[in-house]
Chains A and B, each alone.
Chain A
């Protein structure tokens, strides 16, 4: 049962345009959401996160939006740069207070073209 879903395995965007990566989840207990970026032969790198008490979090070119009623979050990258080309993983956590684990989606490969 895939509790975190990234339905688009790949996305191609022109440099300078907006990249929108989407993520859906099914577990209503999730209260913390993260995006990780992964380059080949490297481990995932934390990018940005959002708590369920917010609906938007912004960090430079990266903005994450959370729609709790739709159980949907998205990552916007504006403007997209060639160095943003990577696999992006959405992750979610249900913090029990004593243990929390990240449940990851299958990733979306972003290609930013010149």
Chain B
């Protein structure tokens, strides 16, 4: 158990809908990262927050947004969902920005 909690574990939704994925980082970790893993692909970095502020942005679509709250949990919002958004979404956390990240078990999103 990495100490990073992601909910829900599975999500099935229709095209055009909006979903919110939630991540609780390890206790004390200030940095939260979101990654997307599509079928047979590597982990694609989406976005990073550090202590409530956005710190780095990767290949995140405009239809996607994220935030980190004062209690340090983070949410990833995916809207106007398309079939191609079906993927595993991982959250990771680290104490700061220059240490190894610990991953949650992921949320498997299926868009039908």
Contacts and interface: CB of A to CB of B under 8 A. Distances in A.
A45 B2 contact: yes
A19 interface: no
B33 to A, nearest CB: 7
B56 A105 contact: no
B18 interface: no
B85 to A, nearest CB: 19
A49 interface: yes
Interface string A28-46: 0000101010000111111
Given A89-B43, A101-B33, A101-B58, A43 B98 contact: no
Contacts of A105: 42
Interface residues of A, number: 27
B56 A43 contact: no
B45 A100 contact: no
A6 B41 CA distance: 11
A108 B103 CA distance: 18
Interface size class of B (residues with CB under 8 A): 20 to 34
Contacts of B33: 101-102
Nearest to B44: A104
B90 A44 contact: yes
B42 A106 contact: yes
A106 to B, nearest CB: 4
13 contacts: A6-B42, A43-B90, A43-B92, A43-B106, A44-B103, A45-B2, A46-B102, A49-B100, A89-B43, A95-B98, A98-B50, A99-B56, A100-B56
> Nearest 5 pairs between A and B by C-beta?
A43-B103, A99-B55, A106-B42, A104-B43, A99-B56
